[in-house]
Amino acid sequence: MNEFPWLTLLILAPLVGAVVVGFAPAAVTKTAAVGVALLTLALGVAVALQFDLDSGGMQLEEQHSWIEAFGVHYALGVDGLGLLMVLLTVVLVPIVLVAGWFDGDDGNTRAFFAWALALEGLSLAVFCATDVFLFYVVFEATLIPAYFLIGGYGRAGRGAAAVKFLMFQLAGGLILLAAVIGLYVVSAQQGSPSYLLSDLTELDISTEAGRWLFAGFFIAFAIKAPLFPVHTWLADTTEKATPGVSVLLVCVLDKIGTFGMLRFCLGIFPEASQWATPLVMVLALISIVYGALVAIGQDDVLRLIGLTSLSHFGFITIGVFAMTTQGGSGAILYMVNHGLGTAALFLLAGYLIRRRGTSLISQMGGLEKVTPVLAGLFLVAGLATLGLPGLSPFVSEFLVLLSAFDYAWYVGAVAVTGIVLAAIYVLWMYQRVFTGPGLPEHEGTPDLDRREVGAVAPLMLALVLFGFYPMPLLDVANPTVETLLTHVGVSDDEPDVPADSVPDHAATEEGGEH
């Protein structure tokens, strides 16, 4: 047990900041909000510095009884997975706030920044919660700021999009609620009820009950992530919301889905997870291919980017359920890289739309000549998304594909087509928007200013850095994955070719020459 409640502080900082920003004078709203986000970033870094890389378990734990009658605790802790998600969140939020400096101006500016900070605080709580009830509470609570961010800012039709978003999420949430209640009942049958993750993983859940509860958790996370066929809210939401909000939704909030699959589905229901793997793999593969195909056909930049995420979440899910170390680490890495790459794409698309006043690809073209910086950055972000070697998503995609082939060759074969399709949607979009003859009305479109470049620069830097040197991320992720897989009770297959066979073989050859 840690003396100083670092994680509580990390969660409280943006939440208190949201209230302060909500009531601060309008003149300092934006500065104050970015200040709070930077403070949270600093706290996130402080948490990371205290993290012990060698341990796969929970660290910086806090635990207090919250609702005794329900066996509920206010319990926080991070493992490698949680830490990476926390870091992703604290890095993305200030970037989004700076990039979306003017996004809140067509509505209530103060509310925009306050809701964004509230969303950050609640998301951090989701990634830190080690009590299932607490997780559920904050999991659902994140939807309220998200609802107001989608419904209050963005393009016409956002109200309907916000309702659709919330309906899907709450439906998933209520199914999860049934499963959470089921956990309580199972837990109560075996002594005193408790929601602590550490107690629940020890539970002896009967096969049938475990599968039902797994289904509840998985459906909720599949809606969140999202996976085919419960993804339909994704494109509508990203189309109508401001790009900054889409970043918060897709790059932070949706990670809860895959995060939850790793932490809860595999952690609490290992048997059921293995039982469901074939179906999950099929859904993931459909998501990969279908998401990419639909993305190719889009004319709206924001819809297109939203749908690419469907494809990416399919990859992550394959990594999670392949249940190998490469798969698990690859999935965690993928979650981080997807967060960085897609955030960059969304924000750059936002810049583009703000300049051109339209999000339709068919009404753009030849922008390369007038806005070379925007075009260049967009290309880098796009190449990252399609998994070009040298940029960080390549590493994670490679690991996930390895695990997919390891699971079954046909799964890997279908997944690989996702990469080809990714190349099509990214490059074709780039070609239609930026290359070709410039349209006359594009003359005089201003290129990116310093604020805009500054906001995406950290993302670009991270994409390149982790592309060449992913070890820091893997060092954090690997122990967690190993612990988790030990708990699930699977181990990596032995290589078909023993590791020490190569020198022996060489030795024989040498011997043969003599």
Partner 1 sequence: MEFVKPTLQYFELSPMLIVFAAACLGVIVEGFLPRARRHLVQVVVAGLGLVAALAVTVWVATDLTERGSGEARGLLAASGTIVIDGPTVYLWGLVLLFAIAGVALFAERRLEGGVSAFAGQAAALPGTEAERQASTRGLDHTEVYPLLMFAVGGMMLFPASNDLLTMFVALEVLSLPLYLLCGLARRRRLLSQEAALKYFLLGAFSSGFFLYGVALVYGFAGSMQLAEINEAVRNDVGNESLLLIGMGMLAVGLLFKVGAAPFHSWTPDVYQGAPTAVTAFMAACTKVAAFGALLRLFYVAFGSDRWTWQPMMWVIAILTMLVGAVLAIVQTDVKRMLAYSAISHTGFLLTGVLGAQASGELADGQVTSLEAVLFYLTTYGFATVGAFAVVTLVRDSGGEATSFPRWAGLGRRSPWVAGAFAFFLLSMAGIPLTAGFVGKWAVFTVAMSAGAWPVVAVAIVASIVAVYFYIRHIRLMFFSEPEDEVAAVTAASPLTTVTIAVCAAGTLVLGVVPGPVLDLVTHAGDFIR
Among 158, 231, 240, 303, binds partner 1 (CB under 8 A): 158
Q: Please, which of residues 42-101 interact with partner 1 by CB under 8 A?
A: 66-71
Please state, in angstroms and rounded to a whole number, the distance separating the CA atoms of residues 379 and 187: 52
Cβ at position 186, least distance to partner 1 in Å: 10
Instruction: Pick the closer one to partner 1 by CB: 216 or 412.
Output: 216
Biggest distance spanned by C-alpha atoms of the chain? 87
Residue 136 touching partner 1 (CB under 8 A): yes
Taking contact as CB under 8 A, which single stretch among the options 80-88, 132-140, 262-270, 481-489 is the one that binds partner 1?
A: 132-140
Please say which residue, 129 or 235, places its beta carbon nearer to partner 1.
129
Angstrom distance (rounded) from CA 110 to CA 118: 12
What are the structure tokens assigned to 373, written together? 């910086």
Q: Which is nearer to partner 1, 178 or 402 (CB)?
A: 178
Neighbours of 32 (CB within 10 A): 19
Name residue, tokens 């510095």: 49
190-209: contacts with partner 1 (CB under 8 A): 191-193
* Structure token digits, residue 434: 């930026």
Tokens of 289: 């291919």
In 3-state terms, what secondary structure has residue 67?
strand
Establish if 464 lies at the interface with partner 1 (CB under 8 A): no
Q: How far is the CB of 118 from partner 1 (least distance, A)?
A: 11
Closest CA to 169 of 126, 219, 135, 211: 219
Unique residue bearing structure tokens 């990594």: 319
| Residue 364 CB-half CA count within 13 A | 29
Residue 306 CA to residue 240 CA, distance in Å, equals: 11
Among 82, 104, 152, 226, contact with partner 1 (rule: CB under 8 A): 152
H or E element, residue 78: strand 72-78
- The single residue among 11, 18, 47, 166 that binds partner 1, judged by CB under 8 A, is 166
**192: amino acid identity, one letter:** S
Q: Which stretch binds partner 1 (CB under 8 A): 89-97, 179-187, 287-295, 498-506?
A: 179-187
DSSP element (H, E) containing 84: helix 80-99
Of positions 31, 55, 189, 431, contacts partner 1 by CB under 8 A: 189
Interface residue with partner 1 among 5, 12, 16, 182 (CB under 8 A) is: 182
In the complex, least distance from residue 190 CB atom to partner 1, rounded to whole angstroms? 8
> Do residues 453 and 234 lie in contact, with contact meaning Cβ atoms separated by under 8 Å?
no
Size of the site for partner 1 (CB under 8 A): 40
Instruction: Examine residue 125 and tell whether it contacts partner 1 (CB under 8 A).
Output: no
| Minimum gap (Å) between residue 151 Cβ and partner 1 | 4
User: Are residues 468 and 315 in contact, defined by beta-carbon separation less than 8 angstroms?
Assistant: no
- Binding residues for partner 1, rule: CB under 8 A, are 66-71, 136-141, 143-144, 147-148, 151-152, 158-159, 162-163, 166-167, 170-171, 174-175, 177-178, 180-182, 184-185, 188-189, 191-193
